[in-house]
């Protein structure tokens, strides 16, 4: 009798799937991209001159900066947008009015802290660093009075504290570079129009 050979079953080979690269929308904006942003369309920096025209120039300039921040939140870091006096004036004017209730509430809080110098300083720093930036960007994006009071948005700051601190440090570094460049004047509009780029990018990735 011939013995039948038993063939051992082949072991299943587990296929290891390659790790997925992070989606582009979750990647932070690069420092070089942020630095070059105002210079990709340098003529746009001349819009800072509207600040020299009281009231009539201030509102459209405010509306223009709001549109810039909204572009950052959309992931558009290409170049400064075209200035549109009529629509930018309207946007800036009504956003100024909508910001008044929050300004009053903020004033009440700071007034309550004023009687204790240490508490006032700590409160001002905490609010200015961890609360105001995200609430302001949220307000710019949604354009409603209520959006300035959406304190739930602050949760994303503390849930991603390391990422947020990096965004703050990048903002500080970029601001210092543009501060030095103020010697040749271009640093002024470059800083004004780009100073919120990293925080708006954080909002885009972690809050929005």
Token digits for 111?
A: 């007034």
Supply the pLDDT for residue 7.
53
DSSP strands (E only) in the chain: none
The domain limits of the chain are: 30-207
Supply the pLDDT for residue 10.
54
Supply the pLDDT for residue 115.
86
- In eight-state DSSP terms, residue 3 is P
pLDDT in tens, 123-169: 999 999 999 999 999 999 999 999 999 999 999 999 999 999 999 99
Q: Which residues contact 173 (CB under 8 A, 6 or more apart)?
A: 31
- pTM of the model as a whole: 0.85
Supply the pLDDT for residue 175.
96
Q: Report the chain's mean pLDDT, rounded to a whole number.
A: 90
List the chain residues with pLDDT less than 70.
1-25
Give me the DSSP letters along 11-55.
Answer: PPPPPPPPPPPPPGGGSPPPHHHHHHGGGSSGGGGGGGGGGGSTT
Supply the pLDDT for residue 24.
55
For helices 187-194 and 161-181, give the axis angle rounded to 10 degrees. 160
- In eight-state DSSP terms, residue 76 is -
């Amino acid at each position: 009798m011939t013995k039948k050979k038993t063939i051992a079953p082949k072991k299943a080979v587990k296929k290891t799937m390659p790790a997925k690269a992070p989606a582009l929308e979750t990647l932070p904006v690069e420092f070089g991209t942020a630095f070059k942003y105002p210079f990709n369309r340098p003529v746009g920096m001349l819009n800072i001159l509207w600040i020299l025209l009281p009231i009539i120039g201030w509102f459209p300039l405010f509306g223009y900066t709001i549109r810039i921040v909204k572009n950052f939140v959309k992931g558009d870091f290409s170049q400064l947008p075209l200035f549109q006096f009529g629509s930018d004036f309207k946007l800036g004017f009504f956003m100024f009015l909508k910001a008044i209730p929050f300004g009053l509430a903020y004033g009440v809080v700071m007034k309550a802290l004023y009687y204790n110098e240490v508490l006032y300083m700590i409160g001002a720093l905490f609010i200015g660093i961890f609360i105001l930036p995200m609430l302001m960007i949220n307000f710019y994006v949604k354009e409603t009075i209520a959006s300035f009071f959406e304190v739930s948005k602050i949760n994303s700051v503390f849930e991603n504290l390391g990422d947020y601190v990096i965004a703050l440090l990048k903002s500080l570094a970029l601001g210092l570079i543009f501060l030095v460049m103020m010697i040749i004047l271009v640093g002024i509009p470059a800083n004004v129009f780009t100073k919120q780029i990293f925080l708006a990018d954080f909002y885009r990735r972690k809050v929005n």
